[in-house]
C-alpha cells in the first residue's frame, strides 16, 4: 500500500534499519488537552473530545506543536480517529510510538491496549482486537510527566525556567507515531554484529513465534548486486542465528573515510516456500578493539575528535523539525573537523544514527540520566532505579546494529563521594554496565562519563575538565603518561570520587565550553543573560587561540585516544557552541577545522599507528 506522507510533519520512515513496505504515518493534527491535576481519567477524557489541538510529533512545549506551553504539566492527553486500511484486514496491527515522555497509557476504541514508562525509548502495542479494519475508532494517549518525580530526564529543567546547562522540558509525544500490519508469525528486529576477523556478519533473527518447517532467508548486497545469501531453519529456535561470510573480493570495511553499507534483506518463509514476512535492513562491516590505551577501528588507530551534541532545536526542542536538520548537524560537525559526536543526555532518534552510518560519523550512545544524587545542595530529582536499566536495555536493542555507534556510555556525571558503603547509585551503575556488556560484547563500555567511576571492569576511563587556560589544562593531563590521570574530585573534600585508574584507554569526554556571544561584547560577564564555562573570551581571536591551545594539549598527548569538545551549538542560554542555536555561524569555522587537522596532529596519529604492533589481517 502506498500512503501519501507529504503533508505530514516528519513524513520519513522512522526505522531505517528495519523497514517494511506497508506502513501508515500518524503524525499531524491531533486533539489535545492539558491535565494539570492528572484527574483526566476520572473526568472522562478517554471518552470525550479534547479541548484543543496539537501538531504531533512535537511536544506541547515546542513552538512547532502549536501549543507552546512552558509551565509544568503533570499529564497531557491526545486523541485522534484511527482507521485501519481495509486491505490490512486479517493481519496483526502494530502501533508504534517513537518516544513519549514519560509515562504513557494508550487506549483504542475505549480499551486500554498498552503502557510504557521511559521518555527516551519507543514502544509498540498490538491493537488488532481493538481496531477492526475499515472502521474509524478513537485512539487516545495519556502521558504523565511529574515535574519533581525522580526519573531520567536528561537536560530537562526541574525548575520553571531553564538555566545554566538545563533546558526546556519535553512532555508527551515527541517522536513519530505510526502503524504497520504484520503476519501472525513475524520477524522481529534482527541483531547484526560485524565480525571483521572472519569477514562476516553474525546475524540473529528473533521471531514472534515459530512455524513448523519455516526458514529464514538472508540476502546481502552492495552497489554491484547480490553478494551472498544464507538460510537457517526457523522452527527450532525463537531467534535463529547464522553467520554470513562475505567473499574475499567483496569485503569492504566501514570506516569514517569509507562508510560503506551493505543492503540486507530478510525473509521468513513457510514450509511451502511462501514468503510470510520480509524486511529491509543494512549493515556495516566494522570492528572495534582495545589495545593498551588505544581504541582501534578495523585494527587502525583513529583519534576520536568528538563534539558534544545535545540534540535540541529552537522550534522543536528535542524533536528535529525535519530529517534535513539531523543531516545538517552531522555536516556541521564534519565541517568543523570533528569525526564524531558524543550524543549527550538524550537518546537520539534512530534516523540520526542512519545518517551517521551513511556519512561515517562516529558516535557514542548515552542515556539521559544527568544529575543522579545531589550536588552543591541542589537535588536534580533523578534518583536511579530499575526503570533506568529497563529503558537502557531498550536503547541497546534498538541501536545494536548501527556501525556508527562505537561505544556505550550508560551514565553521565554520577555525583557521589567514595565512602565506606555501597549505595543505590552504585547498584544501578553496575546493573547498567552489566546489562550493556551482556547485550553487546562488540563495543567498549564507559561506566559513567566523568566524576564517580565505580566499575573496575570498565573498558574506558575519562574525566571532565573545563579549565580554560591552555597551559594549566595541559598540565592537568600531563601525568596521564605516568598512570596518574586527571580525575574529577569532590568540591567538599577534594578527594577523588572514583576508584583507581588501571591503564584503560583514556579521554577527556568534556572540555572547552568556551563562552562566546558576540552580541554581549563589552558587557560585564555577570550582567549577561547567557551562560558558559569559566571566563568569557573577549574576541573571536581569543576564542580561536584558546580553542587551539586546548585541543593541542590533547591531540599531542601520546596516551590520549580522543576527546569530546563542548559543544556543537548554543542551546538556549548556554552559549558555548561553535554554531548558534539556529545553526548559524558564529565566526569563521575554518580555524577550528585547521586546529584539529593540522599536520602536527596527523603526525602524532601516524606515530601512534606505527607503534601499534602487528595487525591481524582479515580474509
- Note whether 177 and 56 are within 8 A (CB): yes
Structure confidence at residue 3 (pLDDT): 38
Q: What is the CATH number of the domain that holds 556?
A: 3.20.20.80
In a domain, 337, yes or no: yes
- Note whether 401 and 365 are within 8 A (CB): no
Same domain, 111 and 147: yes
* Nearest partner of 498 among 396, 387, 417, judged by Cα: 417
Give the end of a domain, one of 131, 152, 182. Answer: 182
In a domain, 14, yes or no: no
Tens of pLDDT, residue by residue over 568-618, are 999 999 999 999 999 999 999 999 999 999 875 655 555 555 554 433 333
CA pair distance 381, 384, nearest whole angstrom: 9
Structure confidence at residue 380 (pLDDT): 54
Same domain, 426 and 501: yes
Same domain, 279 and 399: no
Q: Does position 88 have pLDDT exceeding 90, yes or no?
A: yes
Same domain, 409 and 551: yes
Same domain, 411 and 383: yes
In a domain, 132, yes or no: yes
Tens of pLDDT, residue by residue over 98-150, are 999 999 999 999 999 999 999 999 999 999 999 999 999 999 999 999 887 77
Structure confidence at residue 586 (pLDDT): 94
In a domain, 258, yes or no: yes
List Cα–Cα distances, 383 to 200, 233, 370, in angstroms.
42, 45, 10
Q: Does position 324 have pLDDT exceeding 90, yes or no?
A: yes
Report the pLDDT averaged over residues 209-232: 98
In a domain, 424, yes or no: yes
β-strand partners of 54: 30
| pLDDT greater at residue 6 or residue 423 | 423
CA pair distance 591, 610, nearest whole angstrom: 28
List Cα–Cα distances, 339 to 355, 356, 551, in angstroms.
13, 10, 14
Q: What is the CATH number of the domain that holds 73?
A: 2.60.120.260
* Nearest partner of 387 among 88, 118, 17, judged by Cα: 118
- Note whether 356 and 330 are within 8 A (CB): yes
Same domain, 379 and 485: yes
Same domain, 595 and 470: yes
Same domain, 368 and 488: yes
List Cα–Cα distances, 264 to 18, 217, 279, 283, in angstroms.
10, 10, 9, 7
CA pair distance 253, 96, nearest whole angstrom: 33
Structure confidence at residue 602 (pLDDT): 55
In a domain, 17, yes or no: no
Give the end of a domain, one of 164, 182, 200. Answer: 182
Same domain, 270 and 315: no
Structure confidence at residue 618 (pLDDT): 35
Cis status, amide bond into 567, omega within 30 of 0:
yes
Tell me if residue 88 falls in helix, strand or coil.
helix
Q: What is the CATH number of the domain that holds 202?
A: 2.60.40.10
Same domain, 495 and 348: yes
Report the pLDDT averaged over residues 543-556: 97
Give the end of a domain, one of 151, 182, 213. Answer: 182
In a domain, 140, yes or no: yes
Tens of pLDDT, residue by residue over 394-421, are 999 999 999 999 999 999 998 887 778 8
Same domain, 370 and 510: yes
Domain that holds residue 606: 288-610
Label the pairing between strands 448-451 and 411-414.
parallel
In a domain, 243, yes or no: yes
Which of 66-70, 86-90, 206-210, 595-599 shows the lowest mean pLDDT across its residues?
Answer: 595-599
Grid coordinates representing 78 are 491526545
- The model's pTM: 0.95
Tens of pLDDT, residue by residue over 239-270, are 999 999 999 999 999 999 999 999 999 999 99
Average pLDDT, the chain: 92
Structure confidence at residue 521 (pLDDT): 79
Structure confidence at residue 375 (pLDDT): 44
Tens of pLDDT, residue by residue over 281-291, are 999 999 999 99
Structure confidence at residue 530 (pLDDT): 87
Same domain, 250 and 293: no
CA pair distance 260, 365, nearest whole angstrom: 21
Report the pLDDT averaged over residues 462-481: 97
CA pair distance 195, 335, nearest whole angstrom: 31
What percent of the chain stands above pLDDT 90?
A: 82
Query: What is the total count of domains within the chain?
Result: 3
Tens of pLDDT, residue by residue over 484-523, are 999 998 877 788 888 999 999 999 999 999 999 888 877 7
CA pair distance 609, 287, nearest whole angstrom: 16
Where b means 16+ CB within 10 Å and e means fewer, 70-101 reads eebbbbbbbbbebebeeebeebbbbbbbbbbb
| pLDDT greater at residue 429 or residue 373 | 429
Sheet holding 191-195, edge to edge: 191-195, 200-204, 241-245
Amino acid at each position: 500500500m502506498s500512503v501519501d506522507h507529504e503533508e505530514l510533519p516528519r513524513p520519513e520512515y522512522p526505522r531505517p534499519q528495519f523497514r517494511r513496505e506497508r506502513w501508515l504515518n500518524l503524525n499531524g493534527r491531533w486533539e489535545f488537552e492539558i491535565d494539570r491535576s492528572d484527574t483526566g481519567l476520572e473526568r472522562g477524557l478517554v471518552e470525550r473530545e479534547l479541548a484543543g489541538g496539537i501538531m504531533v510529533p512535537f511536544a506541547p512545549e515546542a513552538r512547532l506543536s502549536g501549543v507552546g506551553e512552558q509551565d509544568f504539566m503533570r499529564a497531557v492527553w491526545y486523541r485522534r480517529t484511527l482507521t485501519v486500511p481495509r486491505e490490512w484486514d486479517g493481519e496483526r496491527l502494530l502501533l508504534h510510538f517513537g518516544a513519549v515522555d514519560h509515562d504513557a497509557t494508550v487506549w483504542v476504541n475505549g480499551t486500554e491496549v498498552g503502557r510504557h514508562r521511559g521518555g527516551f525509548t519507543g514502544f509498540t502495542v498490538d491493537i488488532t482486537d481493538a481496531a477492526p479494519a475499515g472502521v474509524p475508532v478513537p485512539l487516545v494517549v495519556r502521558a504523565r510527566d511529574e515535574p519533581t518525580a525522580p526519573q531520567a530526564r536528561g537536560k530537562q529543567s526541574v525548575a520553571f525556567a531553564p538555566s545554566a546547562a538545563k533546558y526546556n522540558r519535553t512532555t508527551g509525544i515527541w517522536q513519530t507515531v505510526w502503524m504497520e500490519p504484520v503476519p501472525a508469525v513475524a520477524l522481529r528486529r534482527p541483531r547484526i554484529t560485524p565480525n571483521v576477523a572472519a569477514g562476516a556478519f553474525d546475524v540473529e533473527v528473533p521471531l514472534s513465534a515459530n512455524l513448523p518447517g519455516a526458514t529464514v532467508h538472508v540476502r546481502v548486497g552492495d552497489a554491484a548486486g547480490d553478494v551472498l545469501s544464507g538460510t537457517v531453519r526457523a522452527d527450532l529456535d525463537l531467534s535463529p542465528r547464522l553467520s554470513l561470510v562475505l567473499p574475499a573480493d567483496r569485503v569492504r570495511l566501514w570506516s569514517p573515510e569509507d562508510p560503506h553499507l551493505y543492503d540486507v534483506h530478510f525473509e521468513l518463509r513457510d514450509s511451502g516456500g511462501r514468503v510470510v514476512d520480509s524486511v529491509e535492513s543494512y549493515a556495516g562491516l566494522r570492528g572495534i578493539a582495545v589495545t593498551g590505551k588505544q581504541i582501534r577501528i578495523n585494527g587502525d588507530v583513529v583519534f576520536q575528535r568528538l563534539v558534544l551534541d545535545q540534540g535540541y532545536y529552537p522550534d522543536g526542542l528535542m524533536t528535529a523539525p525535519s530529517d534535513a536538520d539531523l543531516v545538517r548537524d552531522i555536516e556541521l560537525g564534519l565541517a568543523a573537523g570533528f569525526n564524531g559526536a558524543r550524543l549527550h543526555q538524550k537518546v537520539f532518534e534512530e534516523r540520526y544514527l542512519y545518517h551517521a552510518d551513511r556519512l561515517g560519523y562516529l558516535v557514542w550512545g548515552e542515556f539521559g540520566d544527568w544529575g543522579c544524587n545531589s550536588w552543591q545542595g541542589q537535588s536534580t530529582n533523578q534518583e536511579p532505579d530499575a526503570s533506568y536499566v529497563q529503558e537502557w536495555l531498550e536503547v541497546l536493542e534498538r541501536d545494536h546494529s548501527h556501525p556508527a555507534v562505537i561505544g556505550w556510555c550508560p551514565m553521565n556525571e554520577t555525583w557521589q563521594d567514595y565512602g565506606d558503603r555501597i549505595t543505590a547509585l552504585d547498584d544501578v551503575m553496575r546493573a547498567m554496565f552489566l546489562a550493556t556488556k551482556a547485550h553487546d560484547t562488540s563495543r567498549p563500555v564507559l561506566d559513567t562519563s566523568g566524576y564517580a567511576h565505580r566499575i573496575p571492569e570498565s573498558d574506558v576511563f575519562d574525566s571532565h575538565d573545563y579549565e580554560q587556560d591552555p597551559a594549566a589544562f595541559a598540565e592537568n593531563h600531563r601525568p596521564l603518561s605516568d598512570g596518574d590521570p586527571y580525575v574529577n574530585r569532590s568540591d567538599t573534600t577534594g578527594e577523588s570520587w572514583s576508584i583507581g585508574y588501571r591503564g584503560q584507554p583514556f579521554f577527556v569526554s568534556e572540555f572547552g565550553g568556551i563562552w562566546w556571544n558576540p552580541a554581549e561584547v563589552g558587557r560585564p560577564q555577570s550582567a549577561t543573560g547567557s551562560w558558559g564555562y569559566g571566563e568569557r573570551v573577549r574576541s573571536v581571536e581569543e576564542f580561536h587561540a584558546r580553542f587551539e591551545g586546548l585541543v593541542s594539549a590533547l591531540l599531542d598527548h601520546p596516551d590520549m585516544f580522543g576527546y569530546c569538545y563542548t559543544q556543537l551549538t548554543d542551546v538556549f542560554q548556554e552559549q558555548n557552541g561553535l554554531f548558534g542555536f539556529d545553526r548559524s555561524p558564529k565566526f569563521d569555522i575554518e580555524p577550528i577545522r585547521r586546529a584539529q587537522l593540522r599536520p602536527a596532529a596527523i603526525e602524532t596519529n601516524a606515530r601512534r599507528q606505527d607503534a601499534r604492533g602487528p595487525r591481524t589481517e582479515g580474509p
